[in-house]
Structure 1
Amino acid sequence: MRDQGRLIQWVEDEQSGLIQPNDSSKQPVYLSLKDFAKRGPRPIVGCALDYQVRIDEKGRFRASDVMYLTAKQSTAHQRTHLYRAAKQQNTSSSRLAPSTIAIIIYWIVILVLNSMGQLPNIWFSILFMAQIVIYFLSKPLVQHPVWSLSPRSIFIFVFSVFGGWPILVLMQNKLRLNTQSQPFKTLYIGTIALNILCTLWIVGATYPF
Structure 2
Amino acid sequence: MTPRGRRPGGTDTRASILAAARTDFAEQGYDAASVRGIARRAEVDPALVHHYFGGKAALFARVMDIPADPAALIAAVVSGPRDRVGENLVRTFLGVWDSDDGRERFQALIRSALTHHEATVMLREFLTREVFGRVLRELAPDGPAPHELELRAGLAASQMVGLAVMRYIVEFPAVVDATHDELAALLGPTIQQYLVPPG
Query: Does TM, scored on the shorter chain, surpass 0.5?
Result: no
When Rg is computed on C-alpha atoms for both structures, the one with the higher figure is: 1
Larger RCO, structures 1/2 (Cα 8 Å, 6+ apart): 2
TM-score bracket, shorter-length normalisation: under 0.3
The structure whose residues are more often strand, as a share, is 1
User: Under a length normalisation based on structure 2, what TM-score does the superposition of the two structures give?
Assistant: 0.26
The structure whose residues are more often helix, as a share, is 2
User: Under a length normalisation based on structure 1, what TM-score does the superposition of the two structures give?
Assistant: 0.25
